[in-house]
Amino acid sequence: MSKPIPSMDTWLKEAKAHESAPKIGMYLTHNGTVRQSAKAKVRYGAEDTKPVTGMYFSYDQDKVDAMIEETYKLEGIYYIKVWLNEGQLEMGDDIMYVLIGGDIRPRVIEGLNYLVGRIKNECVVEKEIV
């Protein structure tokens, strides 16, 4: 089960038409996908892991909304859009898209890192299928 994938072209057109656009000097996107290497291997160096063939993915929308609101409090962040997939995903499937816009590059990079990190650590459940 997978949700329809958003269009980054459409998202960027919407962002550039938004009332916040005159304040924005940079947009960054993040596209997380299901990878073959297990999280334990790439994050913690566990070499004895089996290849991943898919993932069960779910999230708490209220928590995601709260993380978006927190990110808007960061200096220079003016636009955020988030899409999360759900259900059983296959290798290569999209897990999430995030678009963030802000005034200058360092703040936008920091904002993207902050938001994606908080979503991954506090809002989602990922169960790898091996």
Query: What total of structural domains would you count in the chain?
Result: 1
Q: Looking at residue 105, which CATH number applies to its domain? A: 3.90.1170.40
pLDDT score, position 3: 87
> How many Å apart are CA 84 and CA 103, to the nearest integer?
25
Residue 24 resides in a domain: yes
pLDDT score, position 69: 98
Residue 108 resides in a domain: yes
Beta carbons of 55 and 107 less than 8 angstroms apart: no
- 2: which 2 tokens? 């997978």
- pLDDT over 90 at 39, yes or no: no
> How many Å apart are CA 109 and CA 11, to the nearest integer?
18
- pLDDT over 60 at 64, yes or no: yes
Write down the mean pLDDT value for the chain: 94
- pLDDT over 60 at 94, yes or no: yes
SS3 state of residue 94: strand
pLDDT score, position 43: 73
Q: Where in the sequence is the domain holding 62, given as residue range(s)?
A: 8-129
Residue 17 resides in a domain: yes
* Amino acid letter, residue 9: D
Residue 1 resides in a domain: no
Segment 53-59 shows an average pLDDT of 96
Pair type for strands 87-90 and 77-84:
unpaired
Residue 118 resides in a domain: yes
- pLDDT over 90 at 85, yes or no: yes
- pLDDT over 70 at 1, yes or no: no
Residue 2 resides in a domain: no
Segment 29-37 shows an average pLDDT of 94
Of 44, 62, 42, 60, the C-alpha closest to 52 is 42
